Chain A
Amino acid sequence: MATTVEKLVDSALSLGGREFRSRLMVGTGKYRDNSTMVEAIAASGAEIVTVAVRRIDLDRTKEEGILHHLDPKRFFLLANTAGCYSAEDAIRYARLAREAGFNEFIKLEVIGDEETLLPDVAGLLEATRTLVAEGFKVMAYTNDDLVTAIKLEQAGCSAVMPLASPIGSGLGLINPYNIRLIKRRLSVPVVVDAGVGTASDACITMEQGVDGILMNTALAAAEHPVAMGRAMKRAVEAGRLAYLAGRMPQREIALPSSPTTGMLG
């Protein structure tokens, strides 16, 4: 009897007209040193790495910038507007980031609360409309709120990035239902951003069917960032594959795995 070997081939991640093989994106902040960052990112297999826009420290201009450590030919640099608390500021940072000359993508953050770093969704929508009109490919960091996600898609976002839990919290995926709902209703890619703490969080998040995950602190603040990078690579792949494989139905009573017939008399 011929056997059929199941071959589930995943498609590439398509974002704003570009294709990526890895569904894991990583940040570059908070590492103890640059060599650990470079190794951890390499171990994660990420192609998209995020960077922030900040003033140059004029007292330390001899220091090498982040781009000395991250080859822009090897990595796709995704600039963010982290730290911006108004649409106006976020737009300003986005324009500066684009002027650096790498690409027209922006990971748009408009923060509304210092303690939780939760987004200001009104400011986010306002900034999205302006930036989309200026030709930006906007990837919007947002709440796990369906209505906001729909509005962001309608405003022209290239991807919507709902949080798993607050930035830097490592609390994991708090509301899988909301994430599934957003994924089911949107046409643009859904990339979960923020809150993933360890490999199981990443795996569970990918099992919801989302298109990708962006994480920073989970790697940077791990005791061994390089090992965590390897773990996250496998977790994202495993979660994605499990989603594509289609999990078995859950049931609340047992179902024997061995035959119930042929028992000894």
Chain B
Amino acid sequence: MNEAMTVTVNGEERQVDGSSTVLDLLHSLALDPRTVVVEVNREIVRRPTLGNTPLREGDQIELVHFVGGG
């Protein structure tokens, strides 16, 4: 068990396990990876690589999806 670390997800700080990947984060938030687009530190993380992209202390993560708009 790695030490917890702090990342920022959609503007809010969250504690995650030190060995978490982006995919782990999505699972912990009950999000379906097929419906989410992920940006870490302003770089898009493509879906096939979510499971092998480790999170790092202080990462700025944006989780976005489509909403109604004109």
Which of B30, B64, B69, B70 has the most chain A CB within a 10 Å cutoff?
B70
Q: How many A-B residue pairs have CB under 8 A?
A: 97
A77 with B66: in contact, given A56-B36, A61-B30, A62-B30 (CB under 8 Å)?
Answer: yes
Chain A residues with CB below 8 A from B30, complex form: 61-62
Q: Is A37 an interface residue (CB 8 A)?
A: yes
Chain B residues with CB below 8 A from A100, complex form: 37, 65-66
Q: Is A149 an interface residue (CB 8 A)?
A: no
Q: Is B31 an interface residue (CB 8 A)?
A: yes
| The one of B10, B46, B66, B68 that contacts A58, using a Cβ cutoff of 8 Å | B10
- What's the Cα separation between A77 and B35 when bound, in Å? 14
| The one of A61, A80, A99, A168 that contacts B44, using a Cβ cutoff of 8 Å | A99
A58 touches B70 (CB 8 A): no
What does DSSP make chain A's interface, helix, strand, loop or mixed?
mixed
Q: Is B1 an interface residue (CB 8 A)?
A: no
Chain B 27-40 interface mask (CB, 8 Å, partner A; 1/0): 00111000111010
Q: Is A198 an interface residue (CB 8 A)?
A: no
**Which 8 pairs across A and B sit closest by C-beta, in order of nearness?**
A52-B69, A27-B70, A216-B70, A28-B68, A51-B66, A29-B68, A29-B69, A99-B37
For chain A, residues 72 to 100, give those with C-beta under 8 angstroms from any C-beta of chain B. 77, 79-80, 82, 92, 95-97, 99-100
- What's the Cα separation between A215 and B39 when bound, in Å? 30
- Residues of B at the A interface (CB closer than 8 Å) are 9-12, 29-31, 35-37, 39, 42, 44, 46-47, 62-70
A52 with B67: in contact, given A65-B35, A92-B42, A96-B44 (CB under 8 Å)?
Answer: yes
Q: Quick one: closest A residue to B66, CB to CB?
A: A51
Chain A residues with CB below 8 A from B29, complex form: 58, 61
